[in-house]
Amino acid sequence: MQRQLFDHFGLPVMGLILILILVGCAPETEKPLEEVSYRLKWLYNISVVGDLYALDSGLFEKQGLAVNVKPGGPEKDAIKELELGHAQFGVASADQVIRAVSKGSPIVVIAQLFQINPLHWIYRPDKTPLKTPQDLKGKTIGVTHGGNDETIMRALLAKYGIQESEVNLFSVRYDYTPFYQGKVDLWPLYRNAQAPIIGAKLLKAGERFDLMDPSKMGIQFVANSVVTTRKMLEDRRETVQRFIKALLEGWREALDPANTETVIALILKYNKETPEEIIRQQLPATRILMMPSAKFDFGTIDVAAWQQTEEIMLAQKLIPVSVYVEKLLKPINE
């Protein structure tokens, strides 16, 4: 009976086992990469170095993702692209996020990039000594009307009880001429990206410069953070986790002083217009804003800073009612 069974099924079973062994030994077929798009806030520069690092060193691919990293710009709005489905992840400033949510945009924040807002004011300490916020009285201060530097400056003035009539708010644009000419005492700029360039020009002209940091005066206004849609987080949480894992790893490695030369070469690859000596100054400035201490857990969402950002926007009537910002903050565990 046993022999009969073997005669009937033995060969086919043996054949099947052989096939299974061969299939098992065959090289594993590669899973296709999952495609996602990531819209940056600005053009390729020092402020997106970690994003470029994650892309260039294959960290996204290791997580099974093919990420299309798209540069931002003045008219590019990552939140709008998320809603329209043109991107799955993006970078937006806190004021953009809060404004969007107050208008019903279904977005969430999954990581915070800048821990200190890079928006500072440059000034000449010899001509404009600033020891306390009260020293701002009587000064001509540059602000971009409608921009978040205006919001920050108004919050600062309000915090220290300085009336707007006690300062002269000067409308600024791309051109620094009024500052160079001394018509404006304090000019807003990004500490990591622009300060090394403008500072170098002032030093060349034999002038000293210093930077006013609103965060040191108690104004925490959150800058760039990584956002996605609520739907993406609910439906494709695992993709979001893999993306964040690769992105944060990219940022950590990019900001690691041990990788300085690789990072400078990387920036020069994507941005040929900025001279290397400027990038060398921009990189440590970026580290300070993103990694306040060596052991800082990169990407941490500063809930208190977000709450203060919302309070400032409410006080200045930039949003009609509270959006309960804590509900939007969804840090992703790697």
Partner 1 sequence: MLHRRIYQFLMIYFIGFAALMLVKYSLNLSDYVIPGFTEIGIACRRYFGLYLLAVLNTLAVAILGHLLSICMATVVGIIGRLTIWIGSFIRVAAYNIQAYPIVAVAPIIFILLGDGLSSRLLIAAMICYFPLLLSIIGILSEPVTEIEHFFESTRRMNWQLQAKIRAFENIHKLMTVIVGSATLAMVGTIVAEFIAANAGIGYSIRIALYQSDLAKILVALFLIGICTSIYLVLLEWLGMVIKKRIGSV
Residues numbered 143 to 162 that lie near partner 1 (CB under 8 A) are 144-147
Residue 65 φ then ψ, to 5°: -120, 140
Residue 89 · residue 243 · CB < 8 Å:
yes
Burial of 314 (0-12, 13-18, 19+ CB in 10 A): middle
- The answer to whether 103 contacts partner 1 (rule: CB under 8 A) is yes
Residues 112, 108, 232, 86, CA torsion sign: negative
**From the CB of 162, what's the least distance to partner 1, in Å?**
22
Beta carbon nearer to partner 1, 227 or 283? 227
| One of 76, 99, 154, 159 touching partner 1 (CB under 8 A) | 99
Beta carbon nearer to partner 1, 169 or 268? 169
- The answer to whether 26 contacts partner 1 (rule: CB under 8 A) is no
Listed ranges 100-108, 119-127, 204-212, 245-253: which one lies at the site for partner 1 (CB under 8 A): 100-108
Beta carbon nearer to partner 1, 144 or 281? 144
- The answer to whether 71 contacts partner 1 (rule: CB under 8 A) is no
Residue 91 · residue 39 · CB < 8 Å:
yes
- The answer to whether 4 contacts partner 1 (rule: CB under 8 A) is no
Sheet holding 119-123, edge to edge: 168-171, 140-143, 186-190, 119-123, 210-212
- The answer to whether 175 contacts partner 1 (rule: CB under 8 A) is yes
Beta carbon nearer to partner 1, 83 or 256? 83
Q: For partner 1, what does the binding mask look like between residues 77 and 96, x meaning CB under 8 A? A: x-xx--xx-----------x
Listed ranges 54-62, 114-122, 139-147, 290-298: which one lies at the site for partner 1 (CB under 8 A): 139-147
In sequence order, the 6+-apart residues with CB closer than 8 A to the CB of 24 are none
| One of 177, 261, 294, 295 touching partner 1 (CB under 8 A) | 177
Listed ranges 7-15, 59-67, 142-150, 203-211: which one lies at the site for partner 1 (CB under 8 A): 142-150
List residues near partner 1 by CB under 8 A. 75, 77, 79-80, 83-84, 96, 99-101, 103-106, 144-147, 171, 173-175, 177, 318
